[in-house]
Every structure is written in C-alpha cells, then in structure tokens.
Amino acid sequence: MCLECVYAQEVWPMGRDWSAGIVQVPEPGAEIEDWWKNSLKNLPKDERRTVAALLIYTAWNIWKKRN
C-alpha cells in the first residue's frame, strides 16, 4: 500500500521533488524491502540517516492517510 496505491504514486514523486532527488520513487512492482535497501545503499552514514527518516516519515503519512 505504501508504494503502489494511487495516493502513494502521487506522493512519492512529490517527495522526490521536495527533497531534490534524495528520495527515490519506487519502481512499479517493487518490493518495499528491496526499494528501501536500494534507496540507502552507497550513501554516507549521515545522508543515509536523513534519507531513512524521510522514507519512514513519508510511508507513515501515506499509511495514516489511507487508514
């Protein structure tokens, strides 16, 4: 739900734009664990924490809005 529902598909691109490309838009059919790992790999520790926080916050708000 946090990746593929219609609402989420509108939110993730806005997050990417707002974060100047730091947040990656999930590919269609992506598993959340794979997308999460790919979003964070090869990032320095400080940036990885920032990106993880943005991903968690965005996913939580999508879930909250949908439920």
User: Would 33 be classed as within a structural domain?
Assistant: yes
User: Would 27 be classed as within a structural domain?
Assistant: yes
Contact of 54 with 19, CB cutoff 8 Å: yes
pLDDT the model gives residue 51: 92
Q: How many domains does the chain have?
A: 1
User: Would 15 be classed as within a structural domain?
Assistant: yes
pLDDT the model gives residue 29: 85
User: Would 29 be classed as within a structural domain?
Assistant: yes
User: Would 52 be classed as within a structural domain?
Assistant: yes
Full domain range(s) for residue 39: 6-66
User: Would 49 be classed as within a structural domain?
Assistant: yes
pLDDT the model gives residue 1: 66
Q: Write out the DSSP string of 6-55.
A: HHHHHHHHHHHHHTTT-SPPPPTT--HHHHHHHHHTT--HHHHHHHHHHH
Report the predicted TM-score, pTM, of the whole model to 2 decimal places.
0.81
Average confidence (pLDDT) over 1-20? 87
What angle separates helix 45-66 from helix 32-40, to the nearest 10 degrees?
150
Q: Encode pLDDT of 12-66 as tens digits.
A: 999 899 988 888 888 888 888 998 999 899 899 989 999 999 999 999 999 998 8
User: Would 1 be classed as within a structural domain?
Assistant: no
Phi, psi of 45 (to 5 degrees): -55, -45
